[in-house]
Amino acid sequence: MRRSSFRWTIPTLLALQLALLWVQGAQLYRQNQLLQGLREDIQTLSDYFQDGKTPGQEQEDGPAVPARYQAPNPPPRRVAVLGAEEEQDATKELKASRDSAQKASKDAREVQSKLSIEENVRKAEETRKVNAATTSWQRWVYGALACVVAGLIARAILRRNS
């Protein structure tokens, strides 16, 4: 009778271990899907910012308010003709604003590359942690499997000798 109580212990433990591994895999899969969704959202936002748009400007095909409720069009503006000096000043200001925009764009690219590098380092660290956790569990599983196989072999040898 004593033998029958131990008969199902090892298969039960192995089944429980398999169930735990399945749950862990399901959690990792869900976490991966969430991270992919976040990555797509961040990519979309960065695309919008690179294009110079905000996320609300993407649907400017037609007005959202019916025409009868819209405000009337503003009257046309009158533009004064600039003199030669004012035109040169405007050209200088335009050139200065372009230079400033280019500098800001360059700075933004540098910051984005630094953030990208930091993000890659963070992702590599997360991947390393996940791999370390997986490897530690795999060691336990392989160790338990080796113990089971060794026990079965020892049992077979003892049965053959008796």
Can you give the pLDDT at residue 111? 85
Give the pLDDT confidence of 119-139 residue by residue, as tens digits.
Answer: 888 889 999 988 888 887 888
Q: Is residue 20 part of a domain?
A: yes
Res. 63: pLDDT tops 70? no
Q: Is residue 56 part of a domain?
A: no
Domain range for 21 is: 1-47
Mean pLDDT, range 78-103, rounded to an integer: 79
Instruction: Determine the Cα–Cα distance for residues 161 and 52; give it in Å rounded to an integer.
Output: 82
10 or 76, higher pLDDT: 10
The two tokens of residue 57 are 């400007």
Q: Is residue 41 part of a domain?
A: yes
What total number of domains does the chain contain?
1
Question: Residue 153: which pLDDT band, with cuts at 50, 70 and 90?
Answer: very high
Q: Is residue 26 part of a domain?
A: yes
Q: Is residue 92 part of a domain?
A: no
Q: Is residue 122 part of a domain?
A: no
Q: How many other C-beta atoms can be found within 10 angstroms of the C-beta atom of residue 53?
A: 12
Q: Is residue 38 part of a domain?
A: yes
Q: Cα separations (Å) of 8 from 4, 17, 142, 143, 154?
A: 7, 14, 20, 19, 17
Q: Is residue 21 part of a domain?
A: yes
